[in-house]
């Protein structure tokens, strides 16, 4: 059955609006430079699904939107990097080359498919010096933005980027950069995400070989303690649990959120 007529401009506008709405439902991600490399910070309640990952020796990946869609992009980037690094040389795998690959794929899908991908991606590469660092932000339609110093995407990206711009400065320590990122991700007057719902990683130029390092557990807690606004200690559980009189049934519900990858992250 034929569809009603719609102009190409209207179709493109509809696809763009659809993608933007999906991306806006995801939690924001911040990527910014610090004195020894590049920091990635994202609120993420899921323990199974990562928004921040390693692509290659010096290259990191961050995304917001539908997990199942940006995970396909991540895996494709890893295959591209492995094949080119093995066929030619590891130094031939660059963040710019990977960003161009993603831009081509995103642009083709946006133009040719009925539904565009609901994703926004950052590809970051750490250099031997801060002048060699690179941060590329890619939107759902394949547009590439060469960001300088920091990038924000997803959720309330404009407000987050504005707060980043006010506080960011060059050559910050890792603790200071984390403080700036968390402040930017937190609405004024709001509460910061608890440690267990933070995903944090770095590309550290001082590390040998693989530069990507995920910061978790005690390592992340020590780093947060060095910031100017460390998280408060969790409240102690009550000494005696409340007694159930038997008159009211206990509340029921899921024990935790389970994300199948179809929801925005």
Cβ-contact 264, 118 below 8 angstroms: yes
pTM of the model: 0.84
For residue 82, give the 3-state DSSP assignment: helix
Cβ-contact 94, 58 below 8 angstroms: no
pLDDT tens per residue, range 170-218: 999 999 999 999 999 998 888 888 888 999 999 999 999 899 999 999 9
pLDDT tens per residue, range 69-98: 999 999 999 999 999 999 999 999 999 999
pLDDT at 128: 94
Question: What is the distance between the alpha carbons of residues 92 and 49, in angstroms, rounded to a whole number?
Answer: 29
Query: Does the pLDDT at position 255 exceed 50?
Result: no
Q: Which residue stretches of 93-251 are H helix?
A: 95-112, 157-167, 174-185, 217-225
Residue 250, CA distances (Å) to 229, 238, 253, 257 in order: 38, 18, 10, 20
**How do the residues of the chain divide into helix, strand and coil, expressed in percent and rounded to 5?**
35, 20, 40
Cβ-contact 100, 93 below 8 angstroms: no
Q: What is residue 23's DSSP assignment? A: H
pLDDT tens per residue, range 53-65: 999 999 999 999 9
pLDDT tens per residue, range 83-137: 999 999 999 999 999 999 999 999 999 999 999 999 999 999 999 999 999 999 9
Count of other CB atoms within 10 angstroms of residue 213: 16
Q: What is residue 63's DSSP assignment? A: E
């Amino acid at each position: 059955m034929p569809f009603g007529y719609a102009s190409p401009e209207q179709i493109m506008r509809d696809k763009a609006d659809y993608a933007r709405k999906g991306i806006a439902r995801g939690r924001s991600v911040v990527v910014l430079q610090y004195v020894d490399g590049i920091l990635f910070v994202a609120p993420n309640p899921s323990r199974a699904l990562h928004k921040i990952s390693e692509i290659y020796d010096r290259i990191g990946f961050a995304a917001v939107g539908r997990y199942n869609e940006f995970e396909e992009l991540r895996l494709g980037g890893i295959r591209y990097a492995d094949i080119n690094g093995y066929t030619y040389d590891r130094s031939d795998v660059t963040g710019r080359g990977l960003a161009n690959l993603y831009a081509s794929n995103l642009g083709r899908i946006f133009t040719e498919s009925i539904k565009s991908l609901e994703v926004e991606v950052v590809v970051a590469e750490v250099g031997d010096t801060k002048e060699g660092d690179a941060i590329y932000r890619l939107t759902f339609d394949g547009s590439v933005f060469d960001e300088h110093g920091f990038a924000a995407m997803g959720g309330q990206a404009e407000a987050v980027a504005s707060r980043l711009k006010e506080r960011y400065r060059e050559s910050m320590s890792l603790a200071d950069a984390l403080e700036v990122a968390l402040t930017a991700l937190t609405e004024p007057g709001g509460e910061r995400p608890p440690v267990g719902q933070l995903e944090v990683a770095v590309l550290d130029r001082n590390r040998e070989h693989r530069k990507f390092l995920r910061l978790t557990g005690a390592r992340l807690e020590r780093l947060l303690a060095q910031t100017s606004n460390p998280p408060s200690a969790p409240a102690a559980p009550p000494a005696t649990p409340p007694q159930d009189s038997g008159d009211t049934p206990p509340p029921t519900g899921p024990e935790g959120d389970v994300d199948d990858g179809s929801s925005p992250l």
